[in-house]
Every structure is written in structure tokens, then in C-alpha cells.
A = this chain, B = another copy of it.
Amino acid sequence: MAERLYRDIGEQIKEEIRAQGLKPGAKLPTERVYADQFGVSRTVVREAFIMLEIEALIEVRKGSGSYLIKVPGDGRLIKSVSEDIGPFELLQARQVLESSIAACAAEVVTKHDIQLMQDILELEEAELDSVEKSDSADREFHLLIARATQNTLLLETCTQLWDLRERSPMWKALHSRFKDTSYRGGWLDDHRAVLGHLRRRDPQGARQAMWQHLENVKVTLFALSNTEDPDFDGFLFTSLRPDATSGPL
């Protein structure tokens, strides 16, 4: 119950919306009504409404009322972005999405983009013994690829994936064991391979190289994982590709 009250009330309001079967466009009870109903002040209900508004679930019209934009999803099927997500689930998603983004980037990448990536990789090599800095360069390299697609949404998607990583407690726990930096040399080689395919504007090569890179990351992390952790999601590591015939193509 360490949760903030407005979040609690916000979730309860979502439940009510679902329970009452309200449809988009429907008018919600007023702030004052909810305040009475839940036994809290209007302030808290307003804060909960702001939460729903930012989540694009409702629209608030001054003097009129609040209206449902879309029915809130059942939080059990779709984890909230704020919740923690297992490292391997995240890596699997990155593998699927980023390999395609790399392929897309390979088709439209400019000399300038290539130069920027080159610079970042040199920086990464120079800072290879600093976990902090090489990690930052790592992120920057991946985001540069997404940016090279010139598609805002692909960049946004990629950014979200990395933000999620940085916020994940489970990832941090895993990351804290990374005293050994030897594996980073291998990742740098992976990065160079990806850049090579981008330079040659080879979409399939870029896709495959990126896929392999994230595969290598998974293998490294798996070796470092505590497989007895009840929250451990390493089973995702193997479950995705049951047969060897299906490659990243």
C-alpha cells in the first residue's frame, strides 16, 4: 500500500468504467461524485483524472464534465509501462524490433549518419573499461540507427525500449554483476559488424547482424543470471525459437 493515493483512485475509476460497461463518448460521473463515493477529497480525484487524461483515456471539458475516450485496457493483459519487465522479455522484443529497424535504416542511411555512428563506436572503444560510459555509448549507437530511418515513430519506439531498460530494477540487479568487462569487446565487434552492413546499405546483413548481436547479449546475460529467482524470465530465452531452421530473415 505504499502506492500513491491518486494512482489507487485512478485504477479504481478504471475498474468502475469497465464494470459499468461505459462506451467511448460516455459522460463520467463528476469529480465531486467520485470524491464522495471513494471517501476522498476532490483534490485526489482531480489528480486521478489528470492521470487518466495523460494516459489518453478521458477528456476533461471545463464546465461540462469528463468524457470517456476509450475503455481502459485490462491492466493484467498489458503491463503498464511503469511495471517491471523481465530482462529477457525486453531483449526478445528488442531483437525482433531492432533488427527490423536496422534493416530499414540500411536502406536510407546517409553518410552523415554513418560518420556519427563511427564516432560513437570509437568512443565506445576508448571507454571500454568504464561500464557507465560504454553503456551510454551503446545506447547512443542503437538510437542513432533508429534515427537514421528518419521515422519519428521508429526512433520513439527504440527510445522507449531503452528507457524501459534503464528503469527496470531487475535489469539493474542483473547489471550489477557486470564487474567483468571482457564481454564488451565482443559486443563492440558486433556493433562494428552492424555498421559495416549499414555502410554497404545491406538491409538483410544489417538485420542479421543486429539479431546476432542481441543473441550474444542474451547468451552473456543468461550465463550471469540467477536461475533460482522466482521472477527470472530466462525461459523466454529458449522458448522463442524452438527450431533452428527459422533465422532472422
Contacts and interface: CB of A to CB of B under 8 A. Distances in A.
A189 interface: no
A22 B96 CA distance: 34
A27 interface: no
A153 B43 contact: no
Interface in A132-175: 147, 149-157, 159-161, 163-164, 166-167
Contacts of A242: 107-108
B153 A93 contact: yes
Contacts of A157: 93, 97, 157, 160
A81 interface: yes
A99 B100 contact: yes
Contact of A107 (B6, B77, B152, B241): B241
Q: Interface residue tally of chain A, by bracket?
A: 35 or more
Contacts of A167: 56, 69
A44 to B, nearest CB: 11
Given A50-B50, A249-B204, A79 B166 contact: no
Given A50-B6, A242-B107, A70 B166 contact: yes
A92 to B, nearest CB: 6
A100 B108 contact: no
A123 interface: no
Interface in A157-202: 157, 159-161, 163-164, 166-167
A70 B159 CA distance: 12
A154 B107 contact: no
A171 to B, nearest CB: 13
A46 interface: yes
Interface stretch (A12-20, A82-90, A212-220, A224-232): A82-90
Contacts of A25: none
A1 interface: no
Nearest to A92: B151
A164 B153 CA distance: 10
Given A92-B151, A204-B249, 4 more contacts: A77-B147, A92-B153, A107-B241, A249-B249
Interface of A: 4, 6, 43, 46-47, 50-51, 54-56, 60, 69-70, 73, 77-79, 81-82, 85, 89-90, 92-93, 96-97, 99-101, 103-104, 107-108, 147, 149-157, 159-161, 163-164, 166-167, 203-204, 236, 239-243, 246, 249
